[in-house]
Amino acid sequence: MDKMDDSIFNILSFLPIEIIYFILPYTYDTQSNALTSDIKNFYTTKAIASQLYYERFVMEIGEAEPSDKEWFINDLFGFSNKSFPTMNGYVDNFYSLFFRNFSLKNNLDVLRYIQKTESREITTQINIFWGLFTPEERKTFLKMIYPNNIIA
């Protein structure tokens, strides 16, 4: 048994046995290939995008951090809103993206969610958008923003 197994058992030892019996069956279920592929794609493409933004805005232009992340989230908003200025409102595509979050049921829910999201740490904001994108949308975003740096 490795350290990770030890820490899980330490955590479980503080839970009532009824909750442990409720949780345990979920540990036997494997995740779908589509989900694990999407998770891998999320981390791989986000690392590429973060590196490209850092190289462009911090290394090449010489802006102070976190300008790279500020440009990243700005471009995510723009891409999600089909390059329509967000100050003029959101397009249907933007709402459709956020409806992938099953807790959001209508446009007002999305607007409230965006308002709360904008007050969160910038990395969290990036993760929210990046997580809502499909692998193909991530690829399209990277090709659009950095057409010469992405290998299909």
The pLDDT of residue 150 is 59
DSSP letter for each residue of 28-96 = GPPPPHHHHHHHHHHHHHHHHHHHHHIIIIIIIS-PPTTHHHHHHHHHHHHHHTTT--GGG---HHHHH
d(CA 75, CA 82): 10
Q: Taking a C-beta distance cutoff of 8 angstroms, is the pair 122, 70 a contact?
A: yes
Ordered by start, the domain boundaries in the chain are: 1-30, 33-145
Percent of the chain with pLDDT over 90: 72
Q: How many other CB atoms are found less than 10 A from the CB of residue 26?
A: 7
When computed from its CA atoms, the radius of gyration of the chain, rounded to whole angstroms, is 19
**pLDDT score of 45 more than 50:** yes
Does the global pTM surpass 0.85? no
**pLDDT score of 122 more than 60:** yes
For 28, the token pair is 């036997």
d(CA 72, CA 36): 25
Amino acid 93 reads N
The pLDDT of residue 1 is 44
